[in-house]
Structure formats: structure tokens, C-alpha cells
Structure 1
Amino acid sequence: MNLFVIGDVHGCFHTFLKLLERWDPKTEKLIQVGDLVDRGNFSPMALRLAFELQLAFKSQTVFLMGNHESMMIKFLQGLDFSNHWGMNGGNQTLLQFERDNKDPMDYLDWLKNMPLFWENKNVYISHAGLNTNARNPFDPQDKYSLLWNRQPLQNIGKLQIIGHTPQLDGNAKYHEHGNYWNIDTAAAGGMYLTGIKLKRDGALIEIISVPTDMRDLR
């Protein structure tokens, strides 16, 4: 199967739904780089959509953990003593769950089981990418980890695909030196939600950018 990798959704449900119209589950594995929640108007609906897609297309979908899912998990486990998630969009997300009469605890087990990365022999996909400064790239407390890194990526001999750091001009960026794409095109900032289609060997097929649906923004 080819790969269809989608950037940071951040509660932009209607925009996410529009981009999914371009996914062919018969020929493409869908991989989303994390940060489904926070900032946009419809985090519960975006989360539910991802959850139901994985139920329906288990072998064709991968939803990776982003730093916002990590913060949400910590909060739901009662371990967010500094209200870190609340100050980074979580307070609004909780209000949206109340508005929709939904319980975020229903998703805790699913969120906890999100993988940090997906890879094959040619492509490595994560939320924030591999950087040489990380003591442990899989440690959510490490600021250079796969969840939090904002530094240029190391060239690992595979094409990396990441999100996390918004490209404020709305364009996905390829960095030749590190051999990686950043596809966070600031959907929650009113720009675009981007999907990149690749062959399994990492060869680029197509970049698709959908303008943010204004219903998704506060």
C-alpha cells in the first residue's frame, strides 16, 4: 500500500473530514502524526472520528501520539499537577466534551495505546522527529523527544515525516539536509490541513492541502 500521512488536526473536525475525502483505503495506509485535539472547535468529534476509523479500518490506519495527546493522558490519569494541558488548549477541549455530553475518559485506553512512531525500511513517521540532542527520544519528559522536539532532525537514512512545529505560511516543507518533511501547516491557525501521499519507498506522489473550514475555529 501507498502511504497517506496527515498533519496536525487540532480539533479541526470539518477540515479533517474534507481531507479524508482524498483517502483511498483500498490502496493507501492512513497515518496521522498526532495532535488530534486542542485549539480548534471540535476536538471530541475529531477524536471520535479517528477512533471510529481505526475500528473500521484497523489494518489501514495508524494514529500516532502527539504531545497534546500525551498531555491529555496525563490529565485524565490525574497526574497533571501544574495544569499543563489546561494551559495548552485542554480547558477548551474539556468544555467541548461537556458541550457534546461526552466523557473524555472513554478514550483514555485508546490514547494510551497510540504508538510514538511508524516505520518501514524507507520511511519514519512521528510527531516531532528524531534529533541527536534527545537523551531518550521515547521519553515524554525529554524536550527533544519524538513528542516535543523543535530542533532540525538528524538524517537517519530514511525519509522522516513530522508535524508539531506549524509552518505558518501554510506550506509543507522539505528539509534536504535532514531528509524530512514537516506537514503541520497550521490548520488551527486558519491556514491548511495537509496530507502527503508517498510510495512505500518514500517517493513523493502528491501533497494535498485543504484550507481550514472556518467552522473549526473559535
Structure 2
Amino acid sequence: MQVLVIGDVHGCYYTFRRFLKNHWNPENTLLVQLGDLINKGNHSARVLEKAEKLLKKYPHLVYFLLGNHEYMASQSIRIDGRLRGMDPLKQDLLKHNISLSSLDIWCSNLKPIWENKHVYISHAGVSKLSTRPLDLLREDSVIHNRKSLRNIDKLQIAGHVVQKPHYNQKENAWHIDSGAYLGEGLSGVLMNYDGSDCVLITEPTHSKDL
């Protein structure tokens, strides 16, 4: 069994769809998307619809994690019933008849991490300074962290900070947010279940997502 980890999609539906078509084999590969599926890009609603279809078709193969944008959206909806600072996202959802309450339910069901004995996947990684990485209210949590990562004796895979995708040997971590919505491609890592034989993949951003 292999694992395919996909970085920040940010509403780039056509790029996400093409990435799956070109690089994911559901017959032998788990799929883990590490958060920030929505916002910034133009097609968040269609990305959400695609994600829900994948979960229904492959409930034991597909995992979507919590990113800071899902967390912020959910918190904003719960506080005042709005998507504060996310007007384009709100308009896109309305156009596709997706209610804010439905988005809140989706976001609330997302887990912050996926892990096994060898691999630890989260949106932003375990900060080397954090004492409570799963306390999502903290700036150094696994959905908000922007600092260097701690070597936790497992391979970490994180996104969140836009940069050239790379492996950091000191951290034993892959950083894979290449900035799809900025036109820099959607990146991911394909690996064995034990974290070995990692292959970096970058699918160019589709013109319809720009």
C-alpha cells in the first residue's frame, strides 16, 4: 500500500482534479489531503463537492485534514454566522447552493492529523517550540505553525507556508505547499506506507484556476 499526500489546494478545482487523474491509483494508494482545501482560489465549492464524492466512493482510502482556512471559516460561522474576510468564498458557495452551516459541518468533521508508526501528516507540522501542538487555539499548533519543525522520529509532511517543495533532512520533513492558487502548481508526495521511497510530484496549475 502506498500513500499520496496532496498539499494546499485552495479552491483550485481543475488542478486538483487533474492531479488525481494523473497521479492517484485508488486500487493501491491511500489519499491524504493536508488541509486548506478551500478559499483564495476560484472554485472552492466545486473542490468541496469533489471531496465529498471521493469520501463517499472511497470511505476507507481518502482523508481530508483540517487546515487553518477551514478552521477560520468554521470559527467565523459559529461566532456571527458569516465568513468574515472570505466574501469570494461565500459567494462561490451560494452560487453552488452550499450553505454556511453545511460548510461548518464539513470543517468540524476534519481531523488535524493523519499518522501511522512511520509518518505524521498535518497542515502546518509540529513546531520545534510547541509544547501543545494539538491545541488549535495556539499559533504554534499543527494548523497554524510557521516555525521550523521538530524532528519527531517520524517523517513529517506539511504545507501551509508557500515555498518551493523540498525535503528538510534536519527536520525529517517534507514541505509541499507550492502555491497552487498563485500559479505555482499543486504539489504532493507519493510514498510507501512506511514513509520510504518518497517521490515529489507537482502538477502545473490549470489555466481555469487562474
Which range, TM-score by smaller chain? over 0.9
Distance 1:195 1:216 in 2: 18
TM-score (norm 1): 0.91
- Answer whether contact 1:19 1:195 (CA < 8 A) is retained: no
Q: Distance in 2 between matches of 1:43 and 1:71?
A: 15
Question: Aligned equivalents of 2:73 and 2:26: distance in 1?
Answer: 29
Choose 194-203 or 57-66, whichever is displaced more. 194-203
Q: Is the 8 A contact 1:190 1:212 kept in 2?
A: yes
Please identify, of 95-104 and 2-11, the stretch whose mean Cα deviation from structure 2 is larger: 95-104
Secondary structure at the counterpart of residue 105 of structure 2: helix
Aligned twin of 1:45: 46
**1:153 paired residue among 149, 155, 159:** 149
Larger deviation: 92-101 or 183-192? 92-101
**Gaps in structure 1 of 5+ consecutive residues:** none
Structure 1 residue runs of 4 or more that deviate by more than 3 Å after TM superposition: none
Instruction: Give the match for residue 183 of structure 1.
Output: 176
Contact 2:128 2:151 in 1 (8 A): no
- Deviation for aligned residue 1:104: 3.2
Residue 31 of structure 2 corresponds to which residue in structure 1?
30
The C-alpha deviation readout for 1:96-141, integer Å capped at 9, x for no partner, is 1122333232232232111110111110000000013224211222
In structure 2, the residue matched to 1:61 is 62
Cross-structure match for 2:84: 86
AA at the equivalent of 2:182: G
- The CA deviation at 1:206 is 2.3
Task: For 1:188 and 1:215, locate their aligned partners in 2 and report how far apart those are by CA, in whole Å.
Answer: 11
Q: Structure 2 regions of 5+ residues with no counterpart?
A: none
5 Å-filtered alignment, 1:1-218, equals 1-21=1-21, 22-78=23-79, 86-87=84-85, 90-167=86-163, 171-217=164-210
Distance 1:79 1:146, change over 3 A: farther
Residue aligned with 1:70, SS: helix
User: 1:26: Cα distance to partner?
Assistant: 0.9
| Partner SS state of residue 204, structure 1 | coil
Let me know the Cα RMSD of the aligned residues. 1.5
Q: Could you report, residue by residue, the CA deviation over 1:140-193 in whole angstroms, capped at 9, with x for unpaired residues? A: 2211000100101000001000000011xxx31111111000011110111110
Shift of 1:79: 5.1
Alpha-carbon separation, structure 2, partners of 1:135 and 1:141: 13
How many residues are treated as equivalent by the alignment?
A: 209
Q: C-alpha displacement at 1:52, in angstroms?
A: 1.5
Which amino acid is 2:19 matched to? L
Cα distance in structure 2, aligned partners of 1:79 and 1:121: 40
What is the percentage of aligned positions where both structures have the same residue? 37
Secondary structure at 1:77 match in 2: helix
Measure, in 2, the Cα distance between the counterparts of 1:206 and 1:154. 22
Between 1:12-21 and 1:200-209, the stretch displaced more is: 200-209
Cα shift at 1:205: 4.0
Moved more, 1-10 or 71-80: 71-80
